[in-house]
Amino acid sequence: MGCRDKTVINIAGDGCFRMNMNEIATATRYNIPIVQVIINNHVLGMVRQWQTLFYGKRYSQTILNDSVDFVKLSEAMGAKAYKVTQKEELEPVLREAVSLNIPVVIECQISCDEKVFPMVSPGAPIADAFDDTDLKIN
Ligand SMILES: Cc1ncc(C[n+]2csc(CCOP(=O)(O)OP(=O)(O)O)c2C)c(N)n1
Ligand SMILES: [Mg+2]
């Protein structure tokens, strides 16, 4: 709302989007041309990554794995929506979304095992941050 002259793209995980997705209805009500990109790994990935690496893959409350269709949800709230399943599909969809000048949601499907680095072990100082090159992970 504060940047009507700028292109605004918000990138959120599926879990985070679920907490605030009703804002899409606000965007369509006021025709705020934001582009909302959802990175959908079907899990609370940041927490699950800790469970994978530090807690013996004992997954608790992090696997959503349901059949919620974010495209239909977004369309139901009046937005245009796309589903992206291949990396190369993203750029043209993103360009089209920005050109439309209306509220758009782009759901990007990714694997639940994609990880985010660097990270810090529980209780470790920030100076001990590590990434995938420090680990032998699948
Ligand atoms: C209100 C609130 N509840 C819980 C958390 C803890 N938290 C941090 S990241 C995360 C998972 C987010 O999942 P998602 O949006 O799907 O992103 P992903 O890590 O899978 O990319 C959670 C629950 C938080 N930051 N804020
Ligand atoms: Mg997620």
Rounded to whole angstroms, how far apart are CA atoms 88 and 44? 25
CATH for 8-137, options being 3.40.190.10, 2.40.160.20, 3.30.470.30, 3.40.50.970: 3.40.50.970
**Cα 48 to Cα 57: distance, rounded to the nearest angstrom:** 8
| Cα 103 from Cα 30, distance rounded (Å) | 10
Q: Read off the pLDDT band of 137 (50, 70, 90).
A: low
pLDDT digits (tens, 9 = 90+) for 83-112: 999 999 999 999 999 999 999 999 999 999
Q: Which residues line ligand 1 (CB under 6 A)?
A: 13-16, 39, 41, 43-47
Q: Which ligand is nearest to the CA of 45?
A: 1
What's the pLDDT tens digit per position in 36-67? 999 999 999 999 999 999 999 999 999 998 88
Tell me the CA–centroid distance for residue 102 and ligand 2, in Å. Answer: 25
> Could you state, in order of their start, the residue ranges of all structural domains in the chain?
8-137
For the CA of 39, the nearest atom of ligand 1: 21
Question: What does the pLDDT read at residue 65?
Answer: 84
For residue 14, the ligand 1 atom closest to its alpha carbon is 16
**pLDDT-above-70 percentage for the chain:** 98
**pLDDT in the model for residue 134:** 85
In testing the pocket of ligand 1, which one of 10, 38, 43, 44 has its CB within 8 Å of the most ligand atoms?
A: 44
Query: What's the whole-model pTM score?
Result: 0.92
